[in-house]
């Protein structure tokens, strides 16, 4: 990549505090130059066809699997996450390559129908999907492979050129992906990584035809506002405060294992982390005992080998302060800390896996996104109270319900105000690429995955074909009183019943 960037930014290992390397801090002019090259290259990629694009994605899947160590080391180094958390990213990314290589053809195939409209009756109608052109993907630091790059795969499969703006905190995985795609035969300038901070992201928003953003609600709003100036469509995947409801008839072992894993994996730095738990009173003590014992047994530290530790570092320095603030606020307002509750002394940034009880919605740990290894647990009188509390949130990304009665679980799910609900599970729907994943309320706009996850990167064109037809249709000029009466009678017969 040729750029005129002169500034550089250090990339730090959050688990040790060491600087790993420096990367270019691209200016708006650099981004404009990348966009111009991408636009020049895109028509060729768009014309190459889905099969040719799928071949590149299949090669990338194999490349990823052949170079797992390199990816694991890079992801662990720049995020401080455990080896097993990084492995999960690789697994889901490989699945993403396979899914989009296999499904893009079906989702983007022409849709043909015959119109039943009284005015266009019998006309052949084709709905077709054209690449939108140049897509900007702005990614977060928590999953540099799967959350930042993952959204590029359907955009590329749809025939677009893509500029990926990774978080300034975790650009190294994105640069490795750039190398991988080039090795796999992706034409030059179709995928470019624009390293830098917020201003680089703004420049990307200004230069692309579509923005896919993942990150905070605050920045998501700013991105949408900026994109409005050029009427650029956006898809926003933002924060969450995912609730978990544990009913009295739940399998408490499964519920406790899921709470601990889905609340604390990746140190809780997951948009679909379990961030608050509501437990029906009859099983509250038993559930609490199980969760507490499990959290006490977790090992924490810098990423070592596979299976070495369960909980890693806090990737982004300001996040540590947010976690501390939420725990302190809860303590001040009457919560008790049953496990953890402190940051560890350096080197590196670590916050202990933490269990909080006697919490309520006056505390920020129950209402604001913590994005850390905390599990606030609240006793509720019944399921109705749990639903009310779960919905008492500005967010609506995902939720979990635990009950042995699936019908009841589904009925509760239907009352929850969020984009996805797992019954007797959490988070796993992210790997169900067939189904849309997106948030309600301040959690997002649009969705990833499924048909809409690739069609959003397209311009839709409707082609209407009129074959055998009279010289003049009934509704065409010149108007006459007789034909007007005929049309009026027909419309009344059709719609007046």
The residues binding ligand NDP (CB under 6 A) are 138-142, 147, 165, 167-169, 197-198, 201-202, 205, 214-216, 219, 222-223, 237-239, 271, 316, 319, 322, 369, 371
Smallest gap, in angstroms, from Cβ of residue 218 to ligand NDP?
7
Indicate the residue among 227 and 335 with the shorter CB distance to ligand NDP: 227
What is Dmax (Cα atoms) for the chain? Answer: 89
| Residue 305, Cβ density class (10 Å: 0-12 exposed, 13-18 middle, ≥19 buried) | exposed
| Peptide bond preceding 478 in cis form (omega within 30 of 0) | yes
Catalytic choice (247, 265, 271, 422): 271
Smallest gap, in angstroms, from Cβ of residue 445 to ligand NDP?
12
Secondary structure of 444-476 as H, E, C letters: EECCECHHHHHHCCEEEEEEEECCCCCCCCCCC
Indicate the residue among 135 and 271 with the shorter CB distance to ligand NDP: 271
Q: Cα separations (Å) of 53 from 1, 58, 129, 329, 451?
A: 22, 9, 15, 51, 17
Q: Residues 6 or more apart from 158 whose CB is under 8 A from it?
A: 104, 108, 129, 131, 132, 454, 455, 457, 458
8 Å CB contact between 401 and 245: yes
For 351, which DSSP code?
A: B
Indicate the residue among 133 and 140 with the shorter CB distance to ligand NDP: 140
Indicate the residue among 151 and 168 with the shorter CB distance to ligand NDP: 168
Residue number closest to ligand NDP, CB atom: 201
Smallest gap, in angstroms, from Cβ of residue 178 to ligand NDP?
16
Catalytic choice (237, 352, 368, 369): 237
- Beta pairing class for 274-280 and 374-380: parallel
Apex 415 CA angle, 409 and 421, nearest 5:
55
For 187, which DSSP code?
A: P
- 271 catalytic? Reply is yes
Distance (Å, rounded) from C-alpha 463 to C-alpha 176? 41
Alpha helix (H) residue ranges in 208-278: 217-229, 252-264
Terminal Cα distance for the chain, rounded: 66
Indicate the residue among 147 and 292 with the shorter CB distance to ligand NDP: 147
8 Å CB contact between 447 and 401: no
Alpha helix (H) residue ranges in 238-391: 252-264, 281-296, 317-332, 364-367, 383-391
8 Å CB contact between 313 and 350: yes
Smallest gap, in angstroms, from Cβ of residue 27 to ligand NDP?
14
Indicate the residue among 53 and 165 with the shorter CB distance to ligand NDP: 165
Indicate the residue among 137 and 156 with the shorter CB distance to ligand NDP: 137
Smallest gap, in angstroms, from Cβ of residue 318 to ligand NDP?
7
Distance (Å, rounded) from C-alpha 404 to C-alpha 248? 9
Indicate the residue among 140 and 243 with the shorter CB distance to ligand NDP: 140
Smallest gap, in angstroms, from Cβ of residue 215 to ligand NDP?
3
Smallest gap, in angstroms, from Cβ of residue 370 to ligand NDP?
8
Smallest gap, in angstroms, from Cβ of residue 138 to ligand NDP?
5
Could you list the active site residues? 237, 271
């Amino acid at each position: 990549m040729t750029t005129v960037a002169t500034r550089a930014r250090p990339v730090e290992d959050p688990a040790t505090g060491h600087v790993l390397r420096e990367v270019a801090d691209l200016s708006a002019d650099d981004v404009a130059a990348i966009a111009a090259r991408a636009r020049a290259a895109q028509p060729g990629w768009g014309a190459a066809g889905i099969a040719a694009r799928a071949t590149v994605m299949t090669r990338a899947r194999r490349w990823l699997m052949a170079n797992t160590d390199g990816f694991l080391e890079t992801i662990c180094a720049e995020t401080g996450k455990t080896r097993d958390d990084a492995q999960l990213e690789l697994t889901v990314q490989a699945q993403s390559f396979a899914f989009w290589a296999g499904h893009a053809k079906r989702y983007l195939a022409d849709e043909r129908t015959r119109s039943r409209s009284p005015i266009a009756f019998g006309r052949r109608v084709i709905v077709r999907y054209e690449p939108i052109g140049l897509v900007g993907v702005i990614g977060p630091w928590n999953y540099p492979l799967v959350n930042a790059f993952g959204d590029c795969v359907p955009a590329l499969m749809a025939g677009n050129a893509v500029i990926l703006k990774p978080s300034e905190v975790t650009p190294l995985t994105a640069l490795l992906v750039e190398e991988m795609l080039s090795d796999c035969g992706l034409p030059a300038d179709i995928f470019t990584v624009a390293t830098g901070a917020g201003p680089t992201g703004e420049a990307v928003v200004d230069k692309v035809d579509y923005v896919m953003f993942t990150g905070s609600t605050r920045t998501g709003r700013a991105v949408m506002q900026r994109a409005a100036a050029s009427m650029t469509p956006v898809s926003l995947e933002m924060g969450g405060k995912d609730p978990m409801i544990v009913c009295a008839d739940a399998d408490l072992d499964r519920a406790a294992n899921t709470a601990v894993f889905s609340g604390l994996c990746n140190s809780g730095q997951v948009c679909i982390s379990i961030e608050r738990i509501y437990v029906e009173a009859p099983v509250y003590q038993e559930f609490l005992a199980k969760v507490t014992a499990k959290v006490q047994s977790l090992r924490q530290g810098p990423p070592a080998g596979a299976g070495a530790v369960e909980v890693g570092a806090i990737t982004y320095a300001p996040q540590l302060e947010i976690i501390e603030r939420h725990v302190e606020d809860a303590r001040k307002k009457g919560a008790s800390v049953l496990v953890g509750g402190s940051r560890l002394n350096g080197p590196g940034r670590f916050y202990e896996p933490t269990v909080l009880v006697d919490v309520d919605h006056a505390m920020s740990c129950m209402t604001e996104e913590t994005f850390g290894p905390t599990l606030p647990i609240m006793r509720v009188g019944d399921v109705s109270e749990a639903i009310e509390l779960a919905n008492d949130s500005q967010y609506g990304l995902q939720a979990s319900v635990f009950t042995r009665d699936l019908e009841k679980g589904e009925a509760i799910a239907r009352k929850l105000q969020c984009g996805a609900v797992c019954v007797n599970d959490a988070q796993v729907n992210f790997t169900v690429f067939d189904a849309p994943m997106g948030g309600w309320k301040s959690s997002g706009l649009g969705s990833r995955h499924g048909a809409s996850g690739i069609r959003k990167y397209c311009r839709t064109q409707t082609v209407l074909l009129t074959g055998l037809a009279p010289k003049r249709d009934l509704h065409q000029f010149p108007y006459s009183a007789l034909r007007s009466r005929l049309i009026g009678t027909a419309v009344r017969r059709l719609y007046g019943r």
